[in-house]
Amino acid sequence: MATEERTKEILKGLHDSVYEFEEDDAVKWAKTALEEGVDPFVATMEGIAEGMIAAGEAYNEKKYFVPELLMCADALYAGLDILKPAIEASGRQAEVKGSIVLGVVEGDVHDIGKNLVKMMFEVAGWTVYDLGKDVPLDKFVEEQIKTDAEVVGLSALMTTSMLAMPVVIEKLRAKNPKVRILLGGAPVNPEVAEKYGADGYAKTAGTAVDEAINLLKVLKEEELGE
């Protein structure tokens, strides 16, 4: 077992290798964590995830741009690849925070923002069912039913493709009134989200996860109230 001090050092190693997008270091520190008996769940949440959250902040402050974030994501996934099987093997099921079906609506290929959103959800311990870009509208409904995901996140970057959002929302509600729907993308704003009948909206990838958690809280409260 690593001492407390050594554990801190390993967590910092994981954090920094993600933040500084050093993929090889992320692998090295993830292996070290396992070898020295650091709880892989702690290594993931307090090392890797914290590094990615710091990267997200650097992006908001315009210190980082999309290239840096994508590199951080590579380091993040390299570390996760090593830690995830260990979490599963330990029997200590990582606490799944929630699940989300995510995609860019039909007619729209702008997927860079959606990919960042996906990453933030993964970092926060969510299960993400990523449908990709230019997703046929019925696919959102099918995937939600198949996976029973609590949240569906729709992305659109054009005023043209944005018009697909209310159509998907209607389809989703018809099959499953309880599902929570989150919208995002440059032309969307809180008023549009409300008009389209969505449950939530987030302006950035960082705030998307918080917004989704709020939606789940409301969902849980409603269930308790029933």
Partner 1 sequence: MPDGKGAMTERERVLALLDRKKPDRVPIWPFAYQGFATVYTGTPISDAYNKPRVAYEAQKKTCHDFGWVFTPMLGYAAYGGWELGGEIKWPSGEFAQAPTVLKHPVETPDDVMSLKVPDVKTAGIVPIMKEFYDISSKELLDNEPFNVMQFGANGSFTIAGNISGPDRLCKWIIKKPDVAHRLLQLANEHISKLAAYWKELYGVENVIPLGGEPTSANQLISPNMFKEFAMPYITEINKMFIDMGYRHLYAHICGEHNANMEYWAQIPMGDPGIISIAQEVELFDAARYFPNDVILGNVNPAIIQTGTPEEVYAAVKKNVEDGKKIEGGYIFSPGCEMPPMAPVENIKAMSQAVFDHGWY
The residues that touch ligand B12, with contacts defined as CB under 6 A, are 66, 108-114, 116-117, 153-155, 157-160, 182-187, 202, 204-205, 208
117 binds, among partner 1, ligand B12, none (CB under 5 to 8 A by kind): ligand B12
> Which of residues 124, 164, 172, 208 is near partner 1 by CB under 8 A?
164
Residue 46 sits in the site that holds partner 1 (CB under 8 A): no
Shortest distance (Å) from residue 18 CB to partner 1: 14
- 3-state SS, residue 14: helix
Contact assessment for residue 219 and residue 199, using Cβ atoms and an 8 Å cutoff: no
Secondary structure of 146-162 in the HEC alphabet? HHCCCEEEEECCCHHHH
Torsion region of 34: left, alpha or beta (phi above 0 gives left; psi -120 to 50 gives alpha): alpha
Binding mask 53-92 for partner 1 (x = CB under 8 A): ---------x--xxxx-xx--x------------------
Binding-site partner at residue 123 among ligand B12, partner 1, none, CB < 5 to 8 Å by type:
none
How far is residue 165's CA from residue 161's CA, in Å, rounded to a whole number? 8
Positive or negative: CA dihedral 50, 53, 55, 58: negative
Give just the sign of the alpha carbon dihedral 66, 70, 71, 72.
positive
The residue (of 79 and 98) whose beta carbon lies closer to partner 1 is: 79
Q: Which is nearer to ligand B12, 148 or 210 (CB)?
A: 210
Binding site for partner 1 (CB under 8 A): 21, 62, 65-68, 70-71, 74, 105-109, 112, 115, 134, 158-161, 163-164, 187
